[in-house]
């Protein structure tokens, strides 16, 4: 069957994906002492690499050489360390495109965290051509994947909102409520680009505000100094300060300010 599929892919000039999953490895690899640890466990990364490269060699042999049928390699595991170790090795030994993902990652929050643990070291070294974040909701998969890529400057995706963790210096400024509201508003405006920096005080706020599109520094009185592209533009005062800031940020990033 593999021979027929490979030959058909060659005939119609379409790519094939070689997918290896740490949960369904070949029995001969599982039985091979080479891939057992001293404690009796398995060297999952090594087995995945061997199975992937064996499949690459098989396809190349069937079609008559390297590159005749475009291949995409996908080597996944639920263990992010095994997954990234295997993909570092695959990238070192081949030059085929690689699809990255931690499979069976878990629920939303845990799944995103585990996916980041596996994906981001590889992306930092330029490894990977496509990614998937394996959480249950398909829309959340897409949003999470875009945000991971955005964090490294690999894709543009909406407006990024950064915020300080808050501390005793912040005073009466409603930073948490403002952040929630801005996230709600800008999640509807993926056409806009830029970064909003929300800072509760001037200690780090001035430096952060100088680095981003729209900067805000809260004061202990509940007012906020607003920066446009690193330049202090205005001070917004209570009451209704959250509504005022949302309108101001939207107008600025829409190019109306």
Q: From CA 74, how far away is CA 214, in angstroms rounded?
A: 39
Q: Which residues neighbour 123 within 8 Å (Cβ) at sequence distance 6 or greater? A: 100, 131, 148, 149, 152, 154
The fold of 2-151 is TIM Barrel (3.20.20)
Domain definitions of the chain by residue range = 2-151, 159-253
pLDDT at residue 159 in the model: 97
pLDDT in tens, 18-71: 999 999 999 999 999 999 999 989 999 999 999 999 999 999 999 999 988 999
pLDDT at residue 223 in the model: 95
Confidence of residue 100 (pLDDT cuts 50, 70, 90): very high
**What is the pTM assigned to this prediction?**
0.87
Count Cβ neighbours within 10 Å for each residue of 59-75 and write b for 16 or more, e otherwise: bbebbeeeeebebebbb
Q: Tell me the CATH number of domain 159-253, given options 3.30.413.10, 1.20.960.40, 3.40.50.300, 3.40.50.2000.
A: 3.30.413.10
Confidence of residue 2 (pLDDT cuts 50, 70, 90): confident
Rounded to 5°, angle at Cα 16 from 13 and 19: 175
Q: From CA 226, how far away is CA 61, in angstroms rounded?
A: 63
pLDDT in tens, 154-202: 999 999 999 998 886 777 899 999 999 999 999 999 999 999 999 988 8
On the question of a common fold for 2-151 and 159-253, the answer reads no
């Amino acid at each position: 069957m593999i021979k027929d599929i490979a030959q058909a892919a060659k005939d119609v000039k379409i790519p094939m994906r070689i997918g290896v999953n740490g949960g369904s490895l070949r029995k001969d690899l599982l039985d091979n002492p080479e891939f057992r640890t001293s404690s009796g466990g398995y060297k999952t990364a090594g087995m995945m690499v061997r199975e992937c490269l064996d499949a690459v060699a098989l396809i190349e042999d069937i079609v008559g050489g390297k590159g005749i049928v475009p291949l995409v390699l996908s080597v996944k595991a639920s263990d992010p360390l095994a997954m990234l170790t295997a993909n570092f090795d695959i990238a070192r030994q081949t030059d085929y495109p690689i699809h990255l993902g931690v499979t069976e990652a878990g629920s939303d929050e845990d799944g995103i965290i585990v996916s980041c643990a596996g994906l981001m070291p590889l992306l930092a070294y330029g490894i990977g051509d496509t990614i998937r974040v394996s959480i249950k909701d398909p829309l959340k998969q897409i949003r999470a994947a875009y945000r991971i890529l955005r964090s490294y400057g690999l894709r543009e995706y909406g407006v990024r909102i950064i915020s300080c963790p808050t501390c005793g210096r912040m005073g009466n400024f409603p930073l948490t409520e403002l952040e929630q509201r801005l996230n709600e508003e800008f999640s509807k405006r993926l056409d806009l680009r830029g970064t909003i920096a929300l800072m509760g005080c001037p200690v780090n706020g001035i430096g952060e505000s100088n680095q981003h599109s729209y900067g805000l520094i809260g004061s202990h009185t509940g007012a906020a100094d607003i920066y446009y592209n690193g330049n202090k533009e205005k001070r917004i005062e209570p009451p209704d300060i959250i509504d005022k800031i949302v309108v101001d940020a939207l107008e600025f990033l829409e190019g109306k300010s």
